[in-house]
Structure 1
């Protein structure tokens, strides 16, 4: 009763369509949850992510939760996460994907989850890394360790979201570095980000992580651009 009254007096909006949420709904409304374009790549093992990085980096596993389309509900969802202060969306999406990945043998072998870092200036302006909650939630479901101190972004680059998949920006490739961390040698690392577009950012991070001896590498993102 009190919860229903609270929603009536202070209604919360769906982060996908901006309509008011019902008391039984959380973060996104039932309609959006059923219409968000899920890739289900990990369920069908269709190598969706591996195909993007073919000939560039070797991956054990790869998946994205959603397909990303301009002016679609996923763009609205991620815009609310990155630019409107709704950091809680990150954990919500991590829980969503993590529950599914935790049932799959290939992902149960993951030891460490590492989020793609953002530049300190961008973090100061935004107040958080939009991928951190996603990474932490995934690590909990996969019973892995969340590590956010190995990858460092030293160059403040422009977004890759609206670039074509093959218009890779060379400035991204040397924007990241790793701190010396031999404790990750031989581990299976899951590298995570919000949107996979050109693949330049994830490739740059992967190339740095692959300097660590004998690691295995997988990738998971919130969305992948079509």
Structure 2
């Protein structure tokens, strides 16, 4: 209808929210327990196969409906700005795409998500600080250990001084195993005295 934005009202009310900011059982936090220290983690929606969230994110990534990214970012930003865990974020950094994938798709699906959160938190959005320097396709047939070693080498921090002493919010679309985000965190930690938090559109549970 005319007054609706991106998602119709009926579908909007059916989207499965995590409610992690009010729930002590925050599964987004738990993904990283014992693996890498983070300040806080948040995911907006619950992703399951064949549910509405899967359709939504498929349309974002493969149907060029990038307005979904901005919509979910505005929604998430409104939630995070009321949380003490996220209200001191300095810089928003998106998980980058490899240049070949970016050229193929034409956009990073988390760009709008990150930019809208940055507006809400009065933070800077920087997509030039973290680069993906190798393609994930090259990792497809490696064993688990080899794949992890390659993942650690897949990302490059371009300016350590720009994030030194800052609170970084790393954003992505879906949190599953956390391997990609953990690799990004390892790269960001080459800078000194930083705090890292995470926000994603959805989490697979």
| TM-score, with structure 2 as normaliser | 0.92
1:147: which partner in 2? 126
Give distance in 2, aligned partners of 1:168 and 1:78. Answer: 29
Asked if 1:75 is matched to 2:54, the reply is yes
2:105 matched to 1:121? no
Q: How does 1:5-84 map to 2 (within 5 A)?
A: 22-84=1-63
Q: Could you tell me whether the CA contact under 8 Å between 1:37 and 1:66 is conserved in 2?
A: yes
Q: Is the 8 A contact 2:176 2:204 kept in 1?
A: yes
CA distance 1:46–1:111, change in 2 (3 Å): farther
Q: Once superposed, what is the RMSD of the aligned Cα atoms?
A: 1.8
Structure 1: 5+ residue stretches without partners: 1-21, 161-165
CA 1:81–1:29 in 2, change beyond 3 Å: closer, same or farther? same
Q: Write out aligned runs for 1:157-196 (5 A).
A: 157-158=136-137, 169-170=147-148, 171-196=150-175
3-state secondary structure, aligned to 2:200: strand
Distance in 2 between residues matched to 1:151 and 1:110, nearest whole Å? 17
Equivalent in the alignment of 2:80: 101
Structure 2 CA distance for partners of 1:208 and 1:129, relative to 1, 3 Å: same
- 1:19-38 Cα distance to aligned partner (Å, 9 max, x none): xxx12211111121111111
Report how far residue 169 of structure 1 moved: 4.2
Of the two, which has the highest radius of gyration? 1
Partner of 1:13: none
Structure 1 CA distance for aligned equivalents of residues 128 and 153 of structure 2: 18
Answer 1 or 2: higher relative contact order, Cα 8 Å, separation at least 6: 2
Distance 1:169 1:216, change over 3 A: same
Change (3 A) 1:149 1:45: farther
- Stretches of structure 2 that go unaligned for 5 or more consecutive residues are none
Q: How many residues align?
A: 199
Residue in structure 2 matched with residue 15 of structure 1 by the alignment = none
Q: Secondary structure at the match of 1:35?
A: coil
Q: Name the CA distance, whole Å, in 2 between partners of 1:167 and 1:104.
A: 37
* Residue matched to 1:19: none
Q: Where in structure 1 do 4 or more consecutive aligned residues deviate above 3 Å?
A: 166-169
Aligned to 1:91: 70
For 2:186 and 2:97, how far apart are their aligned partners in 1?
Answer: 17
